[in-house]
Amino acid sequence: MNDSVHIHAAPWVVPVDQPPIAGGGVALHHNRIVAVNTVAHLVAAYPDAVLVEHPDAVLTPPLVNAHIHLELSHLEQLGKGDPPDQFTGWILALLALRDALGATGDEVADAARKIVEQQYAEGVSVIADIGNTSVGQELMPHFAGNLLAFKEYLGFSNHRLGDNLARLGAESPDILCAAHAIYSTHKQLLQQLKRRANQNRAVLPIHVAETMAEIQMINQGSGEMVDFLVKRGFWEKDFLNEVNACSGGTITYLSQIGLLDERTLCVHAVHASDEEVTMLAKSGAKVCLCPGSNRFLKVGKAPVKRYLEAGILPALGTDSLASNPEVSIWREMQLLHLDYPELNDAEIFAMATKGGAEALAISDQGTLTAGMKADVLAVALPENMVDAADVLRYLVSAGSRVKPARIQHTWSL
Ligand SMILES: [Zn+2]
């Protein structure tokens, strides 16, 4: 068993919870980070340490993909094709393709496994997967990082409510559960999911305010989403009485029914008024942005700057290959960089790391800080990186061509 401290040294270290360090290093002992500083400081503090040089690299925390649906990976032709005109058109196309290709089986599992391996190779160490099948659960032993496999609950109609509540009540407490969305999930089922998550001290992810159709359903009880539910026989007129008093959008509704607290993860959160951004911040609820999916489905752009101004550091998620031509957190950062020139590069990189860890309540990942897991990326840098601004710009703009090396210390031999 190797008991020495190892100092990994590189021209740049981006710890995320402090400014980039030129000539920096990360000291690892057993499976933890023990110090992050300039190499000179670390060598003085640990004179017997083993020094490992990473010339031409920047050391960073691993990435977090806070929202994906691995079980939809075999439906990639959807995300690589032309987006449908309407959001509900995309849902119908997804259901039809899934009927045609199947929702389980070897092809589904193989496609999902390929994505999990790709995520790890790209430097993702934490994945939050949402699924209706056991595909995500079955992949957990195959992911070298931390795969959180959430089982998704939905069911809008009154007559299925009893069954759904009973099914949820019978779940083992170690199974993580997610709610689908307000337009697909009965209010009482949402509330029970929240109570259960809080009892288990677990995060509850839910798709929130992804499209204007969802907002129109709440505000006016009409529009594309209502038509879709009516056509499929799921619409409940009760819903209108429920939301009559709700003058705002999805976030207002979620607040009114007691769904928002620090362990709620609002995925997408594209359509939020200023009041709702404040509401989210006050509740401590987390936000996960999916810029690639939002772009593909043309649902709009989330008010990212307003989230940051309100003190919310969003997480980033790729969503699935059914609504995104690529599932790469490096590309999600690149899209934010392109679509939001008002954001600074350090904020974008923090979303892909610290924001994701906070959103998923992972306390030992997300930054390079003493006490965190010994899990570090060494990202090769091109030449001509003059200062910290150049390094951060490269990290958030290079996209999926970044292929980081991994530094991990487990001392399990
Ligand atoms: Zn999703």
Q: Percentage of the chain surpassing pLDDT 90?
A: 82
Nearest residue to 219 via CA among 250, 189, 185, 190 = 250
Mean pLDDT estimate for the chain: 94
C-alpha 320 – ligand 1 centre gap (Å): 7
C-alpha 341 – ligand 1 centre gap (Å): 25
pLDDT in tens, 164-205: 999 999 999 999 999 999 999 999 999 999 999 999 999 999
* CA 122, 128, 131, 134 torsion-angle sign: positive
pLDDT in tens, 326-340: 999 999 999 999 999
User: Read out DSSP for 136-194?
Assistant: HHHHGGG-SSEEEEEEEE-B-SGGGHHHHHHHHHTS-TTSEEEEEETTTB-HHHHHHHH
Instruction: Flag whether pLDDT at 242 surpasses 80.
Output: no
C-alpha 403 – ligand 1 centre gap (Å): 25
C-alpha 45 – ligand 1 centre gap (Å): 46
C-alpha 78 – ligand 1 centre gap (Å): 14
pLDDT band at 244 (very low <50, low <70, confident <90, very high): low
C-alpha 67 – ligand 1 centre gap (Å): 6
| Domain covering 6-61+367-408: architecture | Roll (2.30)
C-alpha 58 – ligand 1 centre gap (Å): 31
Task: For residues 68 and 126, give the distance between their C-alpha atoms in angstroms, rounded to a whole number.
Answer: 11
C-alpha 205 – ligand 1 centre gap (Å): 9
pLDDT in tens, 35-73: 999 999 999 999 999 999 999 999 999 999 999 999 999
Opening angle at CA 104, ends 102 and 107, nearest 5: 80
C-alpha 167 – ligand 1 centre gap (Å): 22
C-alpha 241 – ligand 1 centre gap (Å): 28
pLDDT at 300: 95
Which CATH fold topology does 63-359 show? TIM Barrel (3.20.20)
Instruction: Flag whether pLDDT at 403 surpasses 90.
Output: no
pLDDT in tens, 199-236: 999 999 999 999 999 998 888 888 999 999 889 888 88
260 with 208: CB under 8 angstroms? no
pLDDT at 151: 98
C-alpha 131 – ligand 1 centre gap (Å): 9
The answer to which of 53-57, 281-285, 365-369, 409-413 has the lowest mean pLDDT is 409-413
C-alpha 281 – ligand 1 centre gap (Å): 22
The domain ranges of the chain are: 6-61+367-408, 63-359
C-alpha 311 – ligand 1 centre gap (Å): 24
C-alpha 290 – ligand 1 centre gap (Å): 9
Instruction: Flag whether pLDDT at 412 surpasses 80.
Output: no
Average pLDDT in the 260-281 region?
A: 98
C-alpha 306 – ligand 1 centre gap (Å): 22
Instruction: Flag whether pLDDT at 86 surpasses 70.
Output: yes
pLDDT at 245: 56
pLDDT at 411: 52
Long-range contacts of 200-204 (CB under 8 A, 24+ apart): 200/173, 201/263, 202/176, 202/177, 202/263, 203/128, 203/148, 203/176, 203/263, 203/264, 203/265, 203/286, 203/359, 203/360, 203/361, 204/177, 204/178, 204/179, 204/259, 204/263, 204/264, 204/265
pLDDT band at 239 (very low <50, low <70, confident <90, very high): confident
C-alpha 322 – ligand 1 centre gap (Å): 10
pLDDT at 85: 85
C-alpha 207 – ligand 1 centre gap (Å): 6
Average pLDDT in the 129-136 region?
A: 95
C-alpha 379 – ligand 1 centre gap (Å): 29
